[in-house]
Amino acid sequence: MPTRWADNDHYGHVNNVTYYSYFDTAVNAWLIHATGTDIRELPALGVVAQTSCKYLGSLSFPDQLQVGLRIARLGRSSITYDLAIFREDGDALELAATGTFVHVYVDAETRKPIEIPEVIRAAATALLVD
């Protein structure tokens, strides 16, 4: 994932709120790829219920990033992701941040919590860790 020109703030590094955008992009891009489905068209929507980020290093445009993710908890209507953002440094990766991201699945019309769609549950099971 590339950083963007607009990601930098006045201090010359990626602004803290941008890390949450990286998390959101990584999770949803993975969901689309892993399920082969346009998740925007499912009858259930994954809405963000909680996020957190621990900053461990500085990023700045034009850094190239890799975002790792795994599933820490797979519930009836929610998924908790653990994420890590790495800055590419030649052949090495430098850990820049870790975080969590929780999706709660809701009915697209009523916005009431419902079970995770089976296509998403099947994909998520592959990334579930003990």
pTM above 0.85, yes or no: yes
Question: What is the CATH class of 5-125?
Answer: alpha beta
93 strand-pairing partners:
88
pLDDT tens digit string along 35-62? Answer: 999 999 999 999 999 999 999 999 999 9
Q: Tell me the average pLDDT of the chain.
A: 95
Q: Where are the domains of the chain?
A: 5-125
Position 130 confidence tier, pLDDT thresholds 50, 70, 90? confident
Position 16 confidence tier, pLDDT thresholds 50, 70, 90? very high
